[in-house]
Amino acid sequence: MAFGPNPPPIQAHICVKGGDAAIAFYEKAFGAQCTFKAMAEDGKRVMHANLAMFGSEVMLHDEFPEFGGDIMAPSSRSGASMTISINLPRPADVDAAIARAASAGADVVMPASDVFWGARYGRLRDPFGHLWAFNAPLAQQQS
């Protein structure tokens, strides 16, 4: 899935240490597809990649401290500064997404559960330090 001239209105652009490994993880954990990748001149770091996942797109790049260091991987900042939230259609999808990511190496920081806002919700930390939340509405009760 390439968005061409019509990208989603909001896109996460994440910084990692180990871009190629991160791409491989997201492919395994989230079923992502790398639709574009450009390597840095050193041939070791990812300058930019687009990953299609969950009906949208996440952009990714390796850390480049030599360019000023204002964008750093969570491990360089002692933790993530945001959570990437994925809204799914069914409660069972939350459990499945978390289980798949956990089997690929993510740490579940909040197991999936039914929460007060009427959703199934859970959160995990990927091996690169980014936090991902999965949310789906609970079935409506008939009165």
- Is CATH 3.30.1330.60 what the domain over 12-63+75-137 is classified as, yes or no? no
- Pairing assessment for the beta strands 131-137 and 83-87 based on DSSP bridges: parallel
pLDDT tens, residue by residue, 56-106: 999 999 999 998 878 999 999 999 999 999 999 999 999 999 999 999 999
pLDDT at 143 over 70: no
Q: How far apart are CA 132 and CA 129, in angstroms?
A: 10
* Digit-coded pLDDT (tens) for 107-126: 999 999 999 999 999 999 99
Domain boundary assignment for the chain? 12-63+75-137
- What is the number of alpha carbons within 13 Å of residue 20 lying toward its C-beta? 6
pLDDT value, residue 2: 55
pTM as predicted? 0.90
